[in-house]
Amino acid sequence: MGNNATFLHFMHRFIFWILFAMVTCFVLRILIVLDLNKRIYNHTPGPCRVLTEKYKGTAGLTFVESQKRVYVTLGYGKSHNMTTKTGIAFYNTNRTDGRSQQEMHDLIEMTINWNGYEHQNLFIPTGIDSFSSSNGRILLYVINAHPDHQCIHFFQVDNQKLNHRKSVCDSSFTSLQDLAVVGPDRIFFTNMAAFGRGWAQVVEFALQTGQGVVYYYDGSKLSIAAPTVNAPTGIGYDSKRRILYVGSLIRESLLAYKVAKDMSLDSMYEMMLLTSPIGLFVESKSGDVWIAAHPVLHESAWHYSNPERKNVHSSSQVLRIRIQEEGNSWVTTEPYANDGATISASSAIAYTDDQMIIGSSFGRLLHCDLTNSHIT
């Protein structure tokens, strides 16, 4: 009996310490992920101004060179039960067309012809990208973030109007984030987690189970391009180098994949950013990668849980990564950072002609002039 009692006592203590170690590791993971040790110091690359703050969210941006337009998705906050108008607008970056100073900073809303699409009342746009054909046709691809109707919508631009062409929906779409166009109706896009939101998603992130996915749509068929990615968010494509960049929210990194001719992905390297990337923009000429990020995740988590509270902010940050000529090294700079008072939860970025436009999850659209873009 004595030996049995000693063995049982040992097993109880052994199991207790194993469980204690597991719980401790879990808690430490959460604390590390939440960025409790971080602080943001405000700075700008030049004069900045608010383009709009009447929409609850300007969460997606894409730049079309041939039109000198930045297309903006409006109203992401509606997916978090905020009352707001949703839609798509554009900002004209051309400063040599004779417009007044006021007109240069106007945001122009677009009308949408849905062509009989029956779920148009469930449209909450977020991630967006574009394709320009050789004959001048402009196509937009937009993620719908409605919790009950996550899809990708295909539009054609007709001056200040959009014509809905088709949509792609699937039951596996639980937390669509962003997309990158690689050809007409050919897109890569990210699904961040197996669970859409709530405590189940929090636990998934804390355990870092890697249930995120990068999908590929070839115009007719949907496939998984990269399985088990740890919380993929923003995505961008360098067409010259055929490199696909994918941001990871939890790992605070940028993943690089080589895109083969058959559109399969080969992992190249991972850049550790020490901030959580949300939106990406890849310069077509230089290949520089611009990143809109959430640098302090515990602020972001509180902000996403309480988007209506004006005293709750989430810090914003923009990084610029210059890929060197050999392709396996890079230089990172921080053109913009803010504690959330000016722009909260930066989620999208576009850059052209020394102009930087920053979108946010639930609020303002910010425009900044870069006074020294060559060193920013």
Return the bridge partners of 238, or none. Answer: 243
Q: What is the dihedral of CA 73, 40, 295, 44, to 10 degrees?
A: 40
Exposed, middle or buried: residue 48 (CB in 10 Å: 0-12, 13-18, 19+)?
middle
What span, in angstroms and rounded, lies between the C-alpha atoms of 55 and 307?
13
Count of other CB atoms within 10 angstroms of residue 363: 28
Are the C-beta atoms of residues 75 and 56 closer than 8 Å to each other?
A: yes
Exposed, middle or buried: residue 350 (CB in 10 Å: 0-12, 13-18, 19+)?
buried
Is 178 marked as a binding-site residue? Answer: yes
Closest CA to 256 of 318, 214, 224: 214
Is 128 marked as a binding-site residue? Answer: yes
**Checking phi first, is residue 288 left (phi over 0); if not, alpha (psi -120 to 50) or beta?**
beta
What span, in angstroms and rounded, lies between the C-alpha atoms of 309 and 314?
12
Are the C-beta atoms of residues 158 and 92 closer than 8 Å to each other?
A: no
What span, in angstroms and rounded, lies between the C-alpha atoms of 339 and 43?
10
Binding-site residues for Ca(2+) sit at 128, 178
Binding-site residues sit at 128, 178
